[in-house]
Amino acid sequence: MSNLQLGVIGNSSVGALVDGGGEIVWGCMPRLDGDAAFCSLLRPREDSADFGFAAVELSWLERTEQEYLPNTPILVTRLFDDRGGAVEIVDFAPRFRQYGRLFCPAQLVRIVRPLAGSPRITVRMRPADDYGRRRPEVTSGSNHIRYVGTANVLRLTTDCSITAVLEEMPFVLRDALSFVLGPDETMQGSVAEVARRFLELTDDYWHDWVRDLSIPFEWQEEIIRAAITLKLAAFDDTGAVVAALTTSIPESPGSGRNWDYRFCWLRDAYFVVNALNRLNATRTMERYLGYIINVAASSEGRLQPVYRISGRADLDEHIVEWLPGYRGMGPVRVGNQAWQQVQNDVYGSAILAATHAFFDRRLAKVGNAGLFRRLEVLGERAAALWDQPDAGLWELRGSAHVHTFSAVMCWVACDRLAKIARRLGLAEATHRWRTKADAIHAGICARAWSEKRGSFVATFDGDIMDASLLLLAELGFVAASDPRFAGTVAAVEKDLRRGDVLFRYTQADDFGEPENAFLVCTFWYIDALAALGRRDEARALFEKTLDKRNRLGLLSEDVNPVTGELWGNFPQTYSMVGLINCATRLSIPWDQAF
């Protein structure tokens, strides 16, 4: 059983993780990539050091249960003692429309209710400052507590005894209590009434949002949970979609593969946009496209792999020495050095995502000649770099090769520019970009095809496999019916499949040989099986992959191929997107369902 039995709450401004006992173990304020006010996730369970958390502890605890309210990210945790007492904790972040605009403040709400007996609880509210380095200064009033940090001030407004919270004194819970944690602003009206109204309106908002989704007949609950989780990873203010809400949960035990994923990777763009498109989540898709286009427009033709959710380019990486790490497995990193890497696939990723703007007539802002000219600058970079070494999509830190996937994405850049030009009626540009695309295609086939292996290979003139080769048909580089694609899938299966999962690669890298499988690769494999007509195999493997979700239906980045334990940053957008895309492709159509 995975230790990542966590639920995610959020509202596309802030997000937090709650464990099975109702403790908020991770949460960044005032936005998804901000300082971690709660970071007890990044310490061993047995470590009593205070690195920031929020808990409601039930005396004589016997058991717990946890679930989401249907079709929402509103999390309900119930605690039961051995004396007939029980309490319910409702956690959420407000999100709803009022006064003609969306209300989604950097705010977490917790409602604690007695369910049975005379439950005795202790409320512990201990936000941290500077990633757990220190406790903020505390001041209080008649119904609030202020936590004054070096860069942020949080205010807890509550109808609980302020003394009980400050001194963490146990008391018998007789009536519902409300806790609203957020910006240092005075709350108007009763906190109980505000919390109740926020809960009702947030519940209504998410039901309406889910009602507008387009989903297939099969796996509906799984897709809805994945879609909500994807929405929580989308930062409303800029449109960016973060790869995960966490930093430094290792890819495997003690591996040192600990990275900060609270940023926006351009390579995720195509898959995220595809998933949002399939779901009919067009507003979220349009905002994400806007973010990508803005990044591309300010890049002067040189893109980096990853950006902050603000669109800023600097992600300087450093180690937080005072945090011991998830289950004691450091280091804890803030920032990501990958922003300085050369990854030539990013040009194709940006153009591929932006292509939607030229072909999707639902969007308010459709692509035009001005946007096309901006994308052409990126295309020129792709045409110049397709056969140059880079770190590759797996961000290898200690070596550089000419990676086939990077070269294919450079081809994608030119191919899609040719299609956009044709759409715009630009004959000369269509011919120019088609000529470049065809030349790159021929070069890749000459250098990345291995007659010995009967497949495409991971690097030019090499002989090893990596899972990105499964995307060749998805990207349109070869047809699914092309024997070369079947040969490539067979070679990837042979080298990278381990039981019911697929590794991204198996050769040693900067940190040794990979121990756990990158989950999205298994979804890519399932898609490839379906494309080859092996739908029964694909469906069976998809069902097994769904079984790897935690009890709340969420996935992290990696999974142990033997134990099924989840590892890596959480919840992982790439994994949830893979689930959505596979389910959409594999489900029987609605008109064949009855």
Q: Where are the strands (E) in 432-557, listed by range?
A: 449-450, 455-456, 497-498, 501-502, 517-518
* Tens-digit pLDDT profile for residues 359-390: 998 888 888 999 999 999 999 999 999 999 99
| Amino acid occupying residue 535 | R
Report whether pLDDT(324) > 80: yes
List C-alpha distances in Å: 173 to 85, 144, 580. 10, 19, 42
Q: What is the pLDDT of residue 1?
A: 41
| Averaged pLDDT for residues 131-159 | 95
| Averaged pLDDT for residues 269-297 | 91
| Averaged pLDDT for residues 42-49 | 76
Structure tokens at 38: 């709660």
Share of the chain above pLDDT 90, in %: 88
Sign of CA dihedral 61, 570, 210, 592: negative
List C-alpha distances in Å: 533 to 271, 322, 537. 22, 52, 9
List C-alpha distances in Å: 468 to 51, 430, 503. 38, 28, 10
Q: Which residues contact 67 (CB under 8 A, 6 or more apart)?
A: 75, 76, 552
Burial code (b: 16+ CB inside 10 Å, e: under 16) for 434-446 equals bebbeebbebbee
Q: Which residues contact 428 (CB under 8 A, 6 or more apart)?
A: none
The band of 424, judged by pLDDT with boundaries at 50, 70 and 90, is: very high
Q: Which residues pair with 109 in a beta bridge?
A: 92, 180
| Averaged pLDDT for residues 419-446 | 98
Report whether pLDDT(2) > 60: no
Q: Which helix (H) or strand (E) holds 183?
A: strand 177-183
Other C-beta atoms within 10 Å of 288: how many? 25
Q: Which residues contact 234 (CB under 8 A, 6 or more apart)?
A: 12, 240, 241, 284, 287, 288
In the chain, helix, strand, coil percent, each to 5?
A: 35, 20, 45
* Tens-digit pLDDT profile for residues 52-75: 999 999 999 999 999 999 999 999
Structure tokens at 43: 């310490």
Of 511, 456, 520, the closest CA to residue 488 belongs to 456
Give the C-alpha separation, 367 to 89, whole Å. Answer: 47
Give the helix ranges, DSSP H, for 146-268: 162-167, 191-211, 220-232
List C-alpha distances in Å: 300 to 52, 267, 304, 391, 594. 41, 19, 11, 21, 54
Phi, psi of 85 (to 5 degrees): -95, 150
Burial of 117 (0-12, 13-18, 19+ CB in 10 A): middle
Report whether pLDDT(48) > 80: no
Share of the chain above pLDDT 70, in %: 98
**Is residue 37 a contact partner of residue 317, using CB atoms and an 8 Å limit?**
no
Q: What is the pLDDT of residue 398?
A: 65
Q: What is the pLDDT of residue 512?
A: 82
**Is residue 330 a contact partner of residue 323, using CB atoms and an 8 Å limit?**
yes
Give the C-alpha separation, 241 to 478, whole Å. Answer: 29
Give the C-alpha separation, 442 to 434, whole Å. Answer: 12
Q: Which residues pair with 264 in a beta bridge?
A: 307
Q: Which residues pair with 53 in a beta bridge?
A: 126
Lowest mean pLDDT among 65-69, 339-343, 441-445: 339-343
Burial of 151 (0-12, 13-18, 19+ CB in 10 A): exposed
| Amino acid occupying residue 510 | D
Q: Which helix (H) or strand (E) holds 334?
A: strand 333-334
Q: Which residues contact 236 (CB under 8 A, 6 or more apart)?
A: 12, 13, 102, 104, 287
The string of DSSP letters for 540-577 reads HHHHHHHTTS-TTS---SEE-TTT--EESSSS-HHHHH
| Averaged pLDDT for residues 37-41 | 96
* Tens-digit pLDDT profile for residues 80-101: 999 999 999 999 999 999 988 9
Structure tokens at 582: 């596979």
Other C-beta atoms within 10 Å of 144: how many? 17
Give the C-alpha separation, 447 to 535, whole Å. Answer: 31
Of 239, 231, 237, 344, the closest CA to residue 293 belongs to 239
Give the helix ranges, DSSP H, for 322-463: 346-354, 356-359, 369-385, 404-423, 427-448
* Tens-digit pLDDT profile for residues 183-242: 999 998 999 999 999 999 999 999 999 999 999 999 999 999 999 999 999 999 999 999
Give the C-alpha separation, 15 to 8, whole Å. Answer: 7
Q: What is the average pLDDT value for the chain, to the nearest integer?
A: 95
List C-alpha distances in Å: 366 to 274, 278, 293. 17, 18, 12
Scan for tokens 């040189």, then name that residue.
302
Could you give the maximum distance between any two Cα atoms of the chain, in Å?
80
Structure tokens at 374: 């901006």
Report whether pLDDT(29) > 90: yes
The band of 532, judged by pLDDT with boundaries at 50, 70 and 90, is: very high
**Is residue 279 a contact partner of residue 210, using CB atoms and an 8 Å limit?**
no
Report whether pLDDT(182) > 90: yes
**Is residue 280 a contact partner of residue 212, using CB atoms and an 8 Å limit?**
yes
